[in-house]
Amino acid sequence: MITTSFSYIPPYRSLFLSLPATTISPDPVTQPTPKHNIVYIPYPPFDSPRPRVGTIVNGAGLSMNTLDILTLHGLHPSNMLDTGGKATAETIWESFRMVLSDTSVKVLFVNVFGGLTLCDVIAKGIVLAFKEVGIEVPVVVRLRGMREKEGWRILQESKLPIFAFDDLEDAVEKVKELVAKG
């Protein structure tokens, strides 16, 4: 027999549990097209003066981990976006478009672990997004996993203003630094 106990809910998570129920009508700007397997959940601003950090992550587990570490560092995530397990360059472009439709986003954090998702494909999507979306906020990218070196090479050769890391803590520290700069 399996028994589950919920004995502790961290304060930053219990805030979501105490929010009043609201009905949100779908915003066509933030709705993914049917061909993309994207899960996008925007978070309300909570009347906080803190700048918000947009997130693009592959996998629900890594998404939750990313939101947790950002919050533990005193940062305010604007969303949860899971690109799905087999993201394409177009999926990443679509993800950038959706997250950056929120004008309160001041830094964008891309956190990818390449298992099924290939890091070089993610890198191509980031380059495509820079060319077509019109990115005006700092972008911090963490890539780890399958075809990681190829992904780094693509980002480096693009000469785009991207802050790239392979370590999660280092990447989050950079996000925190960029948020502090405004």
What global pTM score does this model have? 0.81
User: What mean pLDDT is reported for the chain?
Assistant: 84
Q: Check pLDDT > 50 for residue 93.
A: yes
21 pLDDT band, cuts 50/70/90, is: very low
The residue among 107 and 43 whose pLDDT is bigger is 107
Tens of pLDDT along 168-181? 999 999 999 999 99
Q: Check pLDDT > 70 for residue 2.
A: no
DSSP class of 3 = -
The C-alpha atoms of residue 27 and residue 135 are separated, in whole angstroms, by 20
Region of poorest pLDDT, from 44-48, 96-100, 153-157, 178-182: 44-48
Please give the domain boundaries of the chain with CATH numbers for all domains: 32-44+51-180 (3.40.50.261)
DSSP secondary structure letters along 9-66: --HHHHHHHTSPP---PPPTTTSPPTTS--EEEEPP-TT--SPEEEEEESSHHHHHHH
Q: Check pLDDT > 90 for residue 129.
A: yes
Tens of pLDDT along 140-152? 999 999 999 999 9
Cβ-contact 63, 83 below 8 angstroms: no
Token pair recorded at residue 17: 């549990």
Q: Check pLDDT > 90 for residue 79.
A: yes
Region of poorest pLDDT, from 83-87, 124-128, 177-181: 83-87
Mean pLDDT score, 66-95: 93
Tens of pLDDT along 27-48? 555 555 556 689 999 988 766 6
The pLDDT, as a whole number, for residue 127 is 96
The pLDDT, as a whole number, for residue 33 is 55
The residue among 162 and 30 whose pLDDT is bigger is 162
